[in-house]
Structure 1
Amino acid sequence: MNITAGNGGAGGGDEAVHTSSAVTNWSHTVSQRYQYLLDKSTPYVRHRWIGFGVAFFIYVLRVSFVQGYYIITYGLGIYILQLFITFLSPQVDPEFEEPFDGLTLPTHGSEEFRPFVRRLPEFKFWYSITKAVCLAFTLTFFRIFDVPVFWPILLFYWIVLFVATMRRQIMHMIKHRYVPYSFGKRRYTGRKEVVVDDASPVTT
């Protein structure tokens, strides 16, 4: 009896280990496939942002339909604003750090073209806000997150915060003389004149 019970216990343990291993392999395969799709989507800037626009529009429709979850929307707006400011900021802040390896933009027309290096790359910016919108959309299906609040106050406060933050960022751009994009800038490479787009690599 004891031997039979022991064998049964061992068999149950082997089955649990086999199930755990299968789940681990499945999750690893899904993770690899997900990362592969992300890598493949990197060059398709316009398509990615259209997808984000669709997801954001669906979220707005959801909030408008249920007439609630304004706290979640406010938190989403603050998060997107924070990411947007980081997206507009240079990788090396000239106010606090000394530029290195030629990562700053030229300040004179005679200097060599240098692309703007963002603190937050475009792909990571898109990926982060898309995940945030999807998470916020998911949270709208849980009543516990529907906190009663007077939403015009939140909207007014967010607008004030947006104006103040953007004003500070624009003043920073003017002070240090940089523009947070490379689109449309011309680069002369001897025989060819290349129009640089920060959504696509420069080829000569």
Structure 2
Amino acid sequence: MEASPGNAAAADFPLAKWRSDFSRTFQYYLDKSTPHAVERWVGTAVVAAIYVLRVYYVQGFYVVTYGLGIYLINLLIGFLSPMVDPELEVSDGPALPTRGSDEFKPFIRRLPEFKFWYSITKAFCVAFMMTFFSVFDVPVFWPILLCYWFVLFALTMKRQILHMIKYKYVPFDIGKQRYGGKKSSASSSLAKD
């Protein structure tokens, strides 16, 4: 008995509908998690701890962990970098203000915090899934990989910090002045009395 093209399309329809429903539901919960930064990062820390325990328990998958570490450095650089690189903005002058009289331009990240969090969480989940397939368990001498990763991290962060100093930008909100806005009319009317 041959399957007609109409039957194949009918068989694919429930799978496509399930995938669409799952995608919509997943996006709904992802959108709801956006304002809850602390809870999201705590969840990522739990996922990372589960991954570390899995690697420790099986005593392997060091190449996967090394690749994960390199990917995390790459994400961190995107998170700490401005959207418009001042080194590339030579025609109009620097994109970030360098003097007090320059126009204020807020720091906009190349990789926003939410995408940074989502990419890190996804990376830990993918790496965790890879630990269940022995083809990814390449035998290596892990202390060399660990030392090389620390050297790579130190050199990359040194370059990024020098870039931040040269173009005078701080990618963090810590220590920046915050403005409270107008006070409510009730408090101002009490002050007049």
* Range into which the TM-score falls when normalised by the shorter chain: 0.7 to 0.9
Q: Which runs of 4+ in 1 moved over 6 A?
A: none
2:164 aligned with 1:150: no
Shift, 1:96, TM fit = 1.0
Provide, for residues 71-103 of structure 1, a one-character-per-residue CA deviation record: whole Å limited to 9, x for no partner.
000000000001101100000100012598xx9
For 1:52 and 1:190, the matched residues in 2 are separated by 34
Instruction: Indicate the residue corresponding to 1:200 in structure 2.
Output: none
Aligned residues: 182
Range 15-24 or range 85-94, more displaced:
15-24
Matched, 1:162 2:156: no
Find out whether 1:56 has 2:20 as its counterpart.
Answer: no
Alignment of 1:90-105 (within 5 A): 90-98=82-90, 104-105=95-96
Aligned equivalents of 1:99 and 1:30: distance in 2?
47
Match of 1:79 in 2: 71
CA RMSD, 1 decimal: 2.4
Q: Does 1:186 align with 2:177?
A: yes
Q: How far, CA to CA, are the matches of 2:144 and 2:104 in structure 1?
A: 46
Query: Equivalent of 1:33, from 25, 34, 37?
Result: 25
- Check whether the contact 1:92–1:119 (CA below 8 A) recurs between aligned residues: yes
Q: Which runs of 5+ in 2 are unaligned?
A: 184-193
Which residue of 109, 112, 116 maps to 1:118? 109
Change (3 A) 1:49 1:176: same
> Which structure is higher in RCO with an 8 Å CA cutoff and minimum separation 6?
2
Report the residue type matching 1:123 in the other structure.
F
Unaligned runs of 5+ in 1: 1-7, 193-204
1:137 alignment partner in structure 2: 128
Corresponding residue for 2:188? Answer: none
CA distance in 2, matches of 1:160, 1:60: 21
Contact 2:97 2:105 in 1 (8 A): yes
1:126–1:98 Cα change, 3 Å:
farther
Query: 1:15-60 deviations in whole A, cap 9, x for unaligned?
Result: 4322211211111111111111111111110010000000000000
Residue 199 of structure 1 aligns with which residue? Answer: none
For residues 45 and 99 of structure 1, the distance between their equivalents in structure 2, rounded to whole angstroms, comes to: 38
Identity rate, percent:
59
- Distance in 2 between residues matched to 1:135 and 1:21, nearest whole Å: 28
Q: Provide TM-score, normalisation by structure 2.
A: 0.85
Aligned mates of 2:87, 2:174 — CA distance in 1: 25
Separation in structure 1 between the aligned mates of residue 174 and residue 15 of structure 2, nearest angstrom: 46
